[in-house]
Amino acid sequence: MCSLDEAPFIQPCHQTDSNCLRSSAQKALPTVAAGIPSLGMSSLDPMLMDRVRAVQTGLKMDFRNTVVKGLRKCEVLDLRRFSRKTELDLKCSVVLIGDYSLGGQLLVLPIEGEGKYKIKIRDIVVKVVLDIDERESGGERYWIVNGFNHSVNVLGGVQFQFQNLFNGNRQMSDPILEFANSNWRQIFNDLAPPIVTAIVSHIVKETTKLFNKTPISALVL
């Protein structure tokens, strides 16, 4: 198990000290994002996602071999701890690069293609609520994450790049990309929820590994 001495990147805080909680999380974020092999935690920046598949409002999506970059530079806006839940608000700018396959309707327009993709998201605010319980092991108490929910709001903007739409037919693909980038908020809401959920799920999974090996006494004063 992990003690405070083995996790010097963690600054313990009183549960009600919101400034300390936010500051502690901000300081720990780059270390956690880089991955901590001693705790079994893999890298969050870059984050690797093998595959995300979904059907969303008539649009069939398949994203593969995705690399997500930028999470280590997220800003911790707020962190609140309660007896049975933890609320975390982050603001991030990230880039996703990988392979895609799309088919169906993008809002009102038909879309079809397969190739490389890149999505840039500026200033996305992610609010995560963790359902927390406790367990005892070796005389210490540890947090357990039973589940989570999240919401997102993009403040800055989103830029979409999809290569080889309509088999490379620029007359068909250019208007679609122009429409998507001019109406980025609607397209993001139509296209991105499965990807965002996969990213948040991965973050929660890695954070759970920290909780599994770090006693509450090393996290809370």
Q: pLDDT for 25-71, tens place per residue? A: 999 999 999 999 989 999 999 999 999 999 987 899 999 999 999 99
* Long-range Cβ pairs for the range 198-206 (8 Å, 24+): 198/49, 198/52, 199/47, 199/49, 199/68, 199/94, 200/126, 200/128, 200/148, 200/150, 202/44, 202/47, 202/49, 203/44, 203/71, 203/128, 204/128, 204/130, 204/145, 204/148, 206/32, 206/41, 206/42, 206/44
Residue 1 reports pLDDT greater than 60: no
Q: pLDDT for 93-139, tens place per residue? A: 999 999 999 999 988 889 999 999 999 999 999 999 999 999 999 99
Residue 6 reports pLDDT greater than 70: no
| Residue ranges of domains in the chain, CATH in brackets | 4-218 (3.15.10.30)
